[in-house]
């Protein structure tokens, strides 16, 4: 992800990713590693916290998760010039959130 593409609000309740014509590798036969094609992605993705802060902690396994339930919205455009493939999603404001959370986890040595 390019520098500056990810943003987090000062209060940590809104996060977003904005990409414009960002090059990625399309691997259409996954898990086979060949062939690959250069693809381009443009995306506006936003998470907005909607609930109280919740958490899960498992000290025995060095794991902690703290998060808010959230709404998420995305608008996406993907092109694979080599194959002629193009996909454009509906506008972000038409997104329906089935599940989203905004938070952080800590594990292992960072617990």
pLDDT at 110: 65
Share of the chain above pLDDT 70, in %: 98
Mean pLDDT of 2-14: 95
- 49: CB partners within 8 A, 6+ apart: 12, 13, 14, 68, 69, 70, 102
Residue 32 has pLDDT above 90, yes or no: no
Mean pLDDT of 21-46: 89
This prediction has a pTM of 0.81
pLDDT at 111: 60
């Amino acid at each position: 992800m390019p520098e500056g593409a990810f943003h987090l609000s000062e209060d940590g309740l809104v996060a977003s990713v904005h990409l414009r014509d960002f090059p990625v590798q399309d691997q259409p036969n996954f898990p086979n590693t060949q062939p690959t094609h250069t693809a381009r992605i443009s995306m506006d993705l936003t998470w907005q916290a909607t609930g109280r802060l919740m958490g899960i902690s498992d000290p025995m396994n060095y794991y902690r998760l703290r998060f808010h339930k959230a709404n998420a919205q995305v608008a996406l455009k993907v092109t694979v010039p080599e194959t002629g493939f193009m996909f454009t999603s509906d506008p972000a404001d038409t997104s329906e959130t089935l599940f989203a959370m905004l938070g952080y986890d800590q594990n292992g040595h960072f617990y």
